[in-house]
Amino acid sequence: MEKRNSSFGRPLFVDEETDKLIHPYNSLYKKKQEEWEAKGIYYRYGKWTNEEKEKLLENWNWYLEKYDSAFEDPLDLLDRRGKSDLIALMKDTQFFKVISRSLNRPTDACYYKLRRDVRTKTLKNGKFFEEEMKQLKKLSRKHRKNFQYIADKMGRDRQSVQDKLRRHEKAVKSKNWTGEEEEELIEAIREVSGLQDLNEIKQLEIPWRSVAELVPTRHEEQCRAHFSTLKRWKLQNIDGNASNMPKWRREHSHLLIDILSNGDYSIETDIDWNKVNQSFVDVSPSVTYIQKQFYKLKSGIPDFHRKSFSDLLEEIRHLHSSHKHISN
């Protein structure tokens, strides 16, 4: 059975007294989830809403305005390795307390989210060009597995550098998976998970790096994506024939829009996808499949990630109503 959204119904923000309690002043230390819940405090986990991200950046900008003269480069705050003076200054200025202010999230989660969002905007992304590949190969020969050092030298994110090196070192295919590769993938997943029944395996719990090491022709992102397809269309059908399950059609999209519009959901992360999926058991093999269908709907709306959930649903409804009239 799929896990229920652990943040369902939990508030985005906390009051001043709770904020003082749950966000330490001088460190990333946090109590265990069970300790907080024993006090009646329930953090939000998982996907961040637009409102939370805006508040996090608001806190970050407030801190920079107040202490701007104390730092040569604000990005140093997001990479504190070996910088004892910087760490001490961050403690004195209550850095972690400030960036987490009002957010119903663990302090360390706020810090790492801020680091990802801010650093992503300042780092290069996308395709590695020829000169970059030469630099990457040279740095990897000299510094081996020190991915963070290599990433810093190249002005890129650590994960993108790590992924690129893995793909370069393997003879990775880009075309359709063969039956032999699919068998290798299934056996690899069984081996690293210790489970034989693939329906019991939760995708987020699989160590995909270890899986990819056992599939010679594919990297971890390909393994993750293809297993989702396998599980949806083959493993959950008794005879492995995906054609037994009816295809998703426009009327299913209209029903999904109606259900989400009429549900008691003020923000997207409050959606009870297990409950929603119960209305689509004839065409949806999993909760993940329904979530993907909704992503397809909202990705057709310009700047959908900047809109409130209610406005987004209204625009989706209007767009698909127009399509319905045209087809009629």
What are the structural domain ranges in the chain? 16-122, 130-169, 179-244, 250-327
6 Cβ contact list (under 8 Å, min separation 6): 45, 46
Q: Tokens 């259900």 sit at which residue?
A: 259
> What are φ and ψ of residue 103, in 5° steps?
-85, 135
What's the rounded Cα separation, in Å, for the pair 179 and 157?
34
The answer to whether 53 and 121 have CB atoms below 8 angstroms apart is: no
> What are φ and ψ of residue 271, in 5° steps?
-65, 130
Three-state DSSP class for 190? Answer: helix
CA-closest candidate to residue 263, choices 251, 279, 241, 240: 279
- How many helical (H) and strand (E) elements, i.e. helices and strands, does the chain have? 16, 0
What's the rounded Cα separation, in Å, for the pair 167 and 55?
37
pLDDT of residue 239: 43
Both tokens of 104, joined, read 């119903």
Residue 103 pairs with which residues in a beta bridge?
13
pLDDT of residue 2: 39
What's the rounded Cα separation, in Å, for the pair 204 and 302?
29
Calculate Rg over the CA atoms of the chain: 23
What's the rounded Cα separation, in Å, for the pair 122 and 170?
29
CA-closest candidate to residue 67, choices 101, 84, 91: 91
Rounded to 5°, angle at Cα 293 from 288 and 322? 165
Each residue's pLDDT expressed in tens, for the chain with a length of 328 residues: 334 445 667 888 998 888 888 887 655 555 677 777 788 888 888 788 888 999 999 999 999 999 887 877 777 788 766 678 888 888 899 999 999 999 999 888 898 889 888 877 666 767 788 888 888 888 888 887 788 888 888 888 777 787 788 767 666 676 778 888 888 998 998 888 888 776 666 666 688 888 888 888 887 778 887 887 676 665 555 444 444 567 888 899 999 999 998 887 778 878 888 888 889 888 887 777 788 889 889 888 888 877 888 888 999 988 887 655 445 4
Q: Could you count the other beta carbons within 10 Å of the beta carbon of residue 10?
A: 15
Domain 130-169: state its class: mainly alpha
Both tokens of 200, joined, read 């019991």
What's the rounded Cα separation, in Å, for the pair 217 and 24?
46
CA-closest candidate to residue 259, choices 238, 275, 281, 237: 275
pLDDT of residue 154: 84
230 Cβ contact list (under 8 Å, min separation 6): 182, 185, 186, 198
What's the rounded Cα separation, in Å, for the pair 284 and 233?
10
Three-state DSSP class for 69? Answer: helix
CA-closest candidate to residue 44, choices 69, 67, 22, 70: 22
